[in-house]
Chains A and B, each alone.
Chain A
Amino acid sequence: MAATTTHDALLGETGIPGELLPQRYDGPRAFGWWGMVWLIGTEATLFALLIASYFYLRFRNGPVWPPDGIATPDLALPLIMTAILWSSSIPVHMAHTGIRAGNVTRLKVGLAVGFVLGATFLVMTLGVEWPEKLDEFGPTTNAYGSLFFTLTGFHGAHVLAGLMLSLWTQVRAWQGAFDESRHLTVQNFTMYWHFVDIVWAFVLATIYLTPHL
């Protein structure tokens, strides 16, 4: 029986003679992966309820929506923003596949590009889209305004959280924390980022597309 196995060893002894099990893992074998899955589950429920609240109030409001003379939302800018946000999932995905193959450079570049695209989306929301809307109506104008700014703001807050997670992952990447066998943080960040992008599809459809129907 070996005296001790160090933390660097990939296999550890369970105490049953001859039985060795891995001590590094990712994906569904890692607790952290499951933690992220359920966090996303509860967050997705929150978004679903917020979107359900939107439609509840819309259909309680009668046929004219948006109400009170507010224009049906223009689609050009939101669709450009959508293209930018969704394109950010590509470099993030490349970063993840990169580190799974042990390529740290692809990880760093992919995370950085994804960060820039995500930040651009957020800046456009806060710097262009919101000011334009605020000229027309605000969150205290009526329930439509409250819904518009709460739903887009809530999604924006999730983009911000994703950007901070990205920042953390990048710091760890530059510290050399990841290689092909240990990169759970990258995996979890990737999953969260894709979630934020997928949720945007529902926010986009709810806020911008359905009023045109």
Chain B
Amino acid sequence: MTATAAPDASATTTSTVERLEAVWAEPPGLGSWLGTVDHKRIGLRYFYTGMAFFVAGGIESLLIRTQLAGPDLDVLGPEGFNQLFSMHGITMMFLFAMPVLSGFGNYFVPLMIGARDMAFPRLNAFGYWVLVASGIFLYSSFLVGRAPNNGWFNYVPLSGEAFTPAINIDYYAVGLIFLGISSTGGAINFIVTILKLRAPGMIVNRIPIFVWGELAMALQIVFALPALTLASVLLLLDRKFDFHFYDADSGGDPLLWQHLFWVFGHPEVYIVALPGFGIASAIIPTWVRRPIVGYTYIVIGELSVALIGFGVWVHHMFAVGLPNITLSFISLASFMVAIPSAIQVFAWLATLVAGRPVLRAPLLFVLGFIFIFVIGGVTGVMFAAIPFDQAVHDSYFVVAHLHYVLVGSAVFPIFAAIYHWGPKITGRLLNDRWGKVSFWLMFVGFNLAFFPQHLLGLFGMPRRIYTYDRDLGWGGYNMASTIGAFILAVGILVTIVNWFHSRTRGAPAGNDPWRGETLEWYASSPPAHYNFVTIPTVRGREPMWDQPELAGGAQPPEDGGRPLTEGHATLSTSMLDARPQVIVHMPHASVWPFLLTVALLVLAFAVLLDNWALSVAAVVASVGGLVGWYWPRGQTQET
């Protein structure tokens, strides 16, 4: 399928390509479709699946905004409204932002570090299938009219059995525990891939910043997600078996939920934001034609945000009546987060000023991200001040703030990445003019939708009310917000149409349409099954700018390019200084990850419906799935 070889390819290169193709190509057919372990196919599936959920979550938000467009409307009714805003939050956090950002990571981390796949290809496939299964599980709740209805942070006692006896909350708890398997497996895969699979010469201070962003995200997932899993397990035990973790009458405490949830929930904000920061740092140098300013400071900034992010969870709980000493400590930590974040912003601005910006769609979206994120950051600093937080707690000011932070740091970078990396994925350029149209619609629509919500919050409009009285005078601002939401949706639609149109009809991209600096531009567009004809040796932070021999797509062995054609293998290097260490034989396609996922999906429904016999059967089937997965077939070396 590929035309990787450079025009001046020697006979050796041609035979290398043939041998790599023979080893790495996945034959067509259902088995290969279900069993693929190719990080590019899996990454693209993550992307499409996440974007499908983005559309679903977007439709939910439009319904919410329609309900709130004017006073005393009754489009959805209170119960429908509760389910939609809950599912909107759950969808956008867990089923859109995390999968799409992981998808870009899956696709581009191996390419950017010069590897032929992720460290654990079958775990990668498994993570994708579990994402799909848990998405189906969560969304199946709409079929019975019992979607989660208590918001994405799902506080007890409202989510306890006494106040929500129906299965809405069980969908939430089981669904998020299930999805956590996918996120955790994916995170471990990213960490090991980034530590052990970098191309020779890619020493620690040459790692692309996007890759650092994915690493910071993965480290946060490993240490933050257990809190959500534990909180949900304890909630299920309370709800289904009458345990008393959250039950104040029997020695439990509802605040335990809030602590556990936000120990996860605040890092979750950075889990969504840090890859977005990484995307910005990856795109800016290419589009201003100079290396990033302050590489070291940006990397330290990302990792500091990831670390400090674990110490600020109580700022979501300033209004619950905790001791002042706790509040002061957390307030200080929350102010501190502004420093490493601002360092990154100033590094981006300095790069923009020092370079020659090319104002096309990718850079426009990055500029939009910086603008919006800085506003969200400023209101974030306001929230760190306890008296202000207590004054606007649970108001629309919070809604405005969190959308400025999350849409700023996830959605705009994702759209920048679509225009920047789309040509690498599809082999075709997207239409830049429509990209600009899309940007301006999204930028104007976003600000029109969410800026007035700051004011509504200051006027006292509480979040999560399904309607409001005409006499309060909130109608005009809400109408503006709703109009903005629809403009934003049209802008998003423009890019979606642009993507599908350009995918087949855009101008051919070639290997390196933007003359980028990192190794993904060394591969063909779309990349071959084996990614690179030769695994490159890297001699700087911007290899594509510093090493002209990479331009042909096949660094010759005399310059350090390793064809590595002996088997289905990639090269593992030492962790800090990236010296070649071992040849790793990678596993082939396998349907076991898919089958294991089916067993776990059955388990999830069985637990949901209190069918314990079926649950035990599904656990046994899952163990069988693991045995099938690991049963030796003489292909891999790791025993």
Beta-carbon contacts under 8 Å, A1-42 to B: 4-5, 7, 12-17, 19, 21-25, 28-32, 34-35, 38-39, 41-42
Report which residue of A23, A43, A146 has the largest number of chain B beta carbons within 10 angstroms of its beta carbon.
Answer: A146
Chain B residue nearest in CB terms to A42: B222
User: Taking the complex as formed, is A46 at the interface, i.e. its CB lies under 8 A from any CB of chain B?
Assistant: yes
How many angstroms from the CA of A62 to the CA of B17 in the assembled complex?
A: 71
Chain A residues, CB < 8 A from B566: 4-5, 12-13
Interfacial residues of chain B within 349-388, with CB under 8 A of chain A in the complex? none
Q: Is B209 among interface residues, defined by CB-CB distance under 8 A?
A: no
Contact between B583 and A22, CB atoms less than 8 A apart: yes
Q: Is the CB of B251 within 8 A of A143?
A: yes
Name the residue among A23, A31, A57, A147 with the largest chain B CB count within 10 angstroms.
A31
Q: In the docked arrangement, what's the CA distance between A22 and B639, Å?
A: 15
Q: Does B253 contact A (CB under 8 A)?
A: yes
Q: Which of A17, A57, A139 contacts B557 (CB 8 A)?
A: A17
Are B244 and A142 in touch, CB under 8 angstroms?
A: yes
- For B612, what are the chain A residues with a Cβ–Cβ distance below 8 Å? none
Query: Distance in Å from the Cβ of B572 to the closest Cβ of chain A?
Result: 7
Query: With A7-B567, A34-B195, A35-B120 in contact, do A41 and B585 touch (Cβ < 8 Å)?
Result: no
A164 and B192 contact, Cβ closer than 8 Å, known pairs A31-B572, A53-B260, A56-B259: no
Would A32 and B585 be within 8 Å (CB), given that A14-B571, A42-B184 are in contact? no
Q: Inside 8 A of B119's CB, which chain A residues have their CB?
A: 31, 34-35
The answer to whether residues A150 and B237 also contact, given A41-B223, A140-B242, A142-B244 and a CB cut-off of 8 A, is yes
Chain B CB within 10 A, most for which of A16, A145, A168: A16
Stretch at the interface among A111-119, A125-133, A175-183: A175-183
Cβ of A185 within 8 Å of any chain B Cβ, yes or no, is: yes
Residue from A14, A38, A43, A141 within 8 A of B562 (CB atoms): A14
Q: Is the Cβ of A42 less than 8 Å from the Cβ of B637?
A: no
Question: If A5-B566, A42-B222, A146-B244 touch, does A57 touch B253 (CB 8 Å cutoff)?
Answer: yes
Encode A49-71 as 1/0 by CB contact (under 8 A) with B.
11001001100110000011000
Interface residue? A45 (CB, 8 A): yes
Contacting residues, chain A, for B195 (C-beta < 8 A) = 34
Question: Is A15's CB under 8 angstroms from B241's CB?
Answer: no
Distance in Å: Cβ of A175 to nearest Cβ of chain B: 8
Q: Is the CB of B562 within 8 A of A23?
A: no
Bound-state CA distance A8–B123 (Å) is 25
Known A13-B566, A53-B256, A143-B244: A23·B638 in contact at CB below 8 Å? no
Cβ-defined contact, A146 with B245, below 8 A: yes
**A23 proximity list for chain B (CB < 8 A):** 569, 582-585, 637
A184: interface (CB < 8 Å):
yes
Q: Does B95 reach chain A (CB closer than 8 Å)?
A: no
Task: Pick the contact of A29: B562, B571, B572 (CB < 8 A).
Answer: B572
Q: Is residue A121 within 8 Å, beta carbon to beta carbon, of the partner chain?
A: no
- Interface 1/0 per residue, A174-213 and B, CB below 8 Å: 0001100011110000000000000000000000000000
Q: Does A100 contact B (CB under 8 A)?
A: no
- Chain A residues whose C-beta falls within 8 Å of the C-beta of B582 in the assembled complex: 21-25, 29
Give every chain A residue within 8 A of B585 (Cβ-Cβ): 7, 23
**Residue in A150, A164, A182 whose CB lies within 8 Å of B243:** A150
CB contacts (< 8 Å) of A43 on chain B: these are 226
Query: Which among A42, A67, A185 has the greatest number of chain B C-beta atoms within 10 A?
Result: A42
Contact B226–A178 (Cβ < 8 Å): no
The verdict on B534 contacting chain A, using a C-beta distance below 8 Å, is yes
Quick check: is B291 within 8 A (CB to CB) of the other chain?
no
Q: Of B16, B250, B253, B580, which is within 8 A of A56 by CB?
A: B253
Q: Does A158 contact B (CB under 8 A)?
A: no
List, in ascending order, chain B residues with CB within 8 A of A14's CB: 562-564, 571, 580, 583
**Among A42, A143, A177, which residue has its beta carbon within 8 angstroms of that of B632?**
A177
Chain A nearest Cβ from B16, distance in angstroms: 8
Interface residues on A, range: 35 or more
With both chains docked as a complex, state the minimum distance between the C-beta of B579 and any C-beta of chain A, in angstroms.
10
Partner of B225 from the list A7, A17, A25, A42 (CB cut-off 8 Å) is: A42
How far apart are A76's CB and chain B's nearest CB, in angstroms?
Answer: 26
| B494: interface (CB < 8 Å) | no
CB closest residue in chain A, given B565: A15
Q: Which residues of B contact A178 (CB under 8 A)?
A: 639
B581 touches A21 (CB 8 A): yes
Tell me the bound Cα distance from A7 to B242 in angstroms.
56
Q: Does A172 contact B (CB under 8 A)?
A: yes
Chain A residues with Cβ below 8 Å from B252 are 57, 143, 146
C-alpha spacing A23/B567, complex, angstroms: 11
User: Judging by beta carbons under 8 Å apart, are B583 and A185 in contact?
Assistant: no
**Which chain B positions have C-beta within 8 A of A144?**
251
B260 touches A49 (CB 8 A): yes
| Contact assessment for B251 and A184 in the assembled complex, using a CB-CB cutoff below 8 Å | no
Contact A139 B243 (CB under 8 A): yes
Within 8 Å CB of B184, what residues of A?
42
The stretch among B74-82, B227-235, B300-308 that forms the contact with chain A is B227-235
Bound complex: CA A60 to CA B280 (Å): 45
- Complex Cα distance, B595 from A93, in Å, reads 34
Q: Please name the residue on chain A nearest to B586 by beta carbon.
A: A31
The smallest beta-carbon distance between B566 and chain A, in angstroms, is 5
Q: Which residues of B contact A28 (CB under 8 A)?
A: 575
Give bound CA distance, A185 to B566, whole Å.
Answer: 25
- B627 contacts A by Cβ under 8 Å: yes
Closest to B192 in A: A34
Q: Which B residues between 185 and 226 are near A, CB-CB below 8 angstroms?
A: 187-188, 191-192, 195-196, 222-223, 225-226
Q: Which A residues are CB-close (under 8 A) to B238?
A: 146
Known: A41-B222, A139-B243, A140-B244. A60 touches B253 (CB 8 A): yes
Could you pull out 10 A-B pairs where Cβ atoms are within 8 angstroms?
A13-B566, A15-B563, A21-B580, A21-B582, A22-B581, A38-B192, A49-B227, A49-B260, A67-B251, A142-B244
Chain B residues packing against A (C-beta within 8 Å): 16, 119-120, 123, 184, 187-188, 191-192, 195-196, 222-223, 225-227, 229-230, 234, 237-238, 241-245, 247, 250-253, 255-256, 259-260, 263, 534, 557, 560-567, 569, 571-572, 575, 580-585, 623, 627, 630, 632, 634, 637-639
A14-B571, A32-B638, A34-B119 known; 4 new pairs, CB 8 Å cut-off, are A16-B560, A42-B184, A42-B226, A53-B230
4 nearest A-B pairs in the assembled complex, by CB-CB distance: A143-B251, A15-B563, A46-B226, A146-B243
Residues of A within 8 A of B (CB): 4-5, 7, 12-17, 19, 21-25, 28-32, 34-35, 38-39, 41-43, 45-46, 49-50, 53, 56-57, 60-61, 67-68, 139-147, 150, 164, 168, 172, 177-178, 182-185
